[in-house]
Amino acid sequence: MNTAASTTTTTLKLNEGYFSQRNWLDWLFAALVIGGGLFALQRYAAYMDVYEKGILLGAIPSTIWLGWFWRPLRTLMVVAAGCALLAIGLYQVDGAGSLARADTVFGLKYFLSSQSAILWMSMLFFMSTAFYWISMFARGEGATMSLIGSRLAWVAVGMALIGTLVRWYESYLVGADVGHIPVSNLYEVFVMFCWMTATFYLYYEAQYRTRALGAFVMLVVSAAVGFLLWYTVVREAHEIQPLVPALKSWWMKLHVPANFIGYGTFALSAMVAFAYLIKQSAGETRWYKLAPLWLLGVVLCFEPVVFRPTAGDGAGGSYWMVYFGVSALIVGSILFGRQRIASKLPPLALLDDVMYKAIAVGFAFFTIATVLGALWAAEAWGGYWSWDPKETWALIVWLNYAAWLHMRLMKGLRGTVSAWWALVGLVVTTFAFLGVNMFLSGLHSYGTL
């Protein structure tokens, strides 16, 4: 009798519907998303074509699912949307929105204008990285330090989203024909790269219940922030510019975010691979066996050479010298404290699993982005593929990770080789993302340096 009752209970649990598992906060979030989406459709339908309306309607269930799938995202999205609406309200307080209010209204000038929010994002990511690294060396309060680092990363992601949403609105204040989703140039996509990489890391942090990887993943985010600040100060890239004709397409709203999910997760996997190699070589004393550290040092310290000061850079040279010094300090600290760092890292099997899952997610989205890019190219230039440098390097990136996944799934690739491959993959991806814009020209040269 007890066995029968137990079987019935188990069956009932298995038959519980997905929607029956939702609580009232889930349904309230869904109602807010539906209400906001339908309001935007009703208010701005005249400015959208049929494809953009379709994207908006498709975003409603996707956003609800994301909030239900991982509940911290629900809070993040509500707070970011609320702060963005507050910023828009501050711009419109006199009835006519004006971009000049960003310099006169306290809340906009110091917190909620796009540039202020993104600067807050930058500072918070640096602070998050610092606290994660302090936790690596701290003896008694390591868990507290890493928790602070994690919370700061969440706030930084929130500020990045607020800055992105407000910048979208600000582009329409510049001019109705100028307004566009802020994913069109290097400045805007670097902001996207930072918050996407950090968000995916925070998800894995929660899933695997370890904050030890934050020190490594936040290094690549901070490096991106360092470039972003230089690009802002020296190149004044934060100024909102009209789109070139080829970018005036609804395809951009799909292709670019999908692409940067790939870039972000590939970067995450590379930093996890770096942590794997550090843990593996913790007790090594022979210099040639510490190749991962030397590789990191070369990559970090090479950046000031790539972005060496040129005419008109002003303080750019001093900035990169400071960057060089900080990079050297980071590499030296890791080299000196590698045994202690390795003791704080999770098991190699867990690192290997995170690396694999990050690459699998990135590869799926990068594949989607490549297909979308081909469709966009057919509409803009009359052909799906033209062997443009950006397209060629995107194919190289795709083939690299396709081969990695094939070797893992078919041949059981694990351990040192897979970690090195993932780390080298970051170099290939970085060239496809940034190097093509710097050293090559082509149809995709919209984000020149």
Quick check: 92 and 170 in contact, CB under 8 A?
no
Give the residue from 143, 163, 86, 150 showing the smallest Cα distance to 124.
150
Residue-wise pLDDT for 39-93, tens only, equals: 999 988 888 888 889 999 999 999 999 999 999 999 999 999 999 999 999 998 7
Report in angstroms the alpha-carbon separations of 204 from 241, 354, 390, 433. 36, 7, 30, 24
Residue-wise pLDDT for 369-379, tens only, equals: 999 999 998 88
pLDDT at 43: 86
- Name the amino acid, one letter, at 215: A
pLDDT at 286: 67
Tell me the C-alpha distance between 358 and 264, whole Å: 9
> Of 221-230, 365-374, 428-437, which gets the smallest average pLDDT?
428-437
Is the pLDDT at 13 greater than 80? The verdict is: no
Is the pLDDT at 441 greater than 90? The verdict is: no
Is the pLDDT at 123 greater than 80? The verdict is: yes
Is the pLDDT at 32 greater than 90? The verdict is: yes
Q: How confident is the model at residue 6 (pLDDT cuts 50, 70, 90)?
A: low
Tell me the C-alpha distance between 54 and 446, whole Å: 27
Q: What does the DSSP assignment read for 382-449?
A: S-S----HHHHHHHHHHHHHHHHHHHHHHH---HHHHHHHHHHHHHHHHIIIIIHHHH--STT--S--
pLDDT at 311: 43
Q: Which residues contact 432 (CB under 8 A, 6 or more apart)?
A: 390, 393, 394, 396, 397
Quick check: 187 and 233 in contact, CB under 8 A?
no
Q: Is the pTM of this model over 0.85?
A: yes
Is the pLDDT at 352 greater than 80? The verdict is: yes
Q: What does the DSSP assignment read for 246-302?
A: GG-STTHHHHHHHHHHHHHHHHHHHHHHHHHHHHHTTT---GGGGHHHHHHHHHHHH
- Sign (positive or negative) of CA dihedral 135, 138, 142, 148: negative
Quick check: 114 and 167 in contact, CB under 8 A?
yes
The residue-averaged pLDDT of 243-256 equals 87
Q: How confident is the model at residue 112 (pLDDT cuts 50, 70, 90)?
A: very high
Q: Among residues of the chain, what percentage have pLDDT more than 90?
A: 55
What six digits make up the tokens of 211? 């904050």
The residue-averaged pLDDT of 96-103 equals 83
Give the residue from 371, 436, 363 showing the smallest Cα distance to 398.
363
Secondary structure of residue 427 in the 3-state scheme: helix
pLDDT at 4: 53
Query: What does pLDDT average to over the chain?
Result: 86
The residue-averaged pLDDT of 216-244 equals 88
Residue-wise pLDDT for 134-145, tens only, equals: 999 887 667 899
What six digits make up the tokens of 286? 């022979």
What six digits make up the tokens of 39? 């309001």
Tell me the C-alpha distance between 108 and 101, whole Å: 7
What six digits make up the tokens of 405? 């996944």
Q: Distance between terminal CA atoms of the chain? A: 75
pLDDT at 10: 46
Quick check: 238 and 191 in contact, CB under 8 A?
no
Is the pLDDT at 407 greater than 70? The verdict is: yes
What six digits make up the tokens of 266? 């590939």
* Residue corresponding to tokens 């760092």: 341
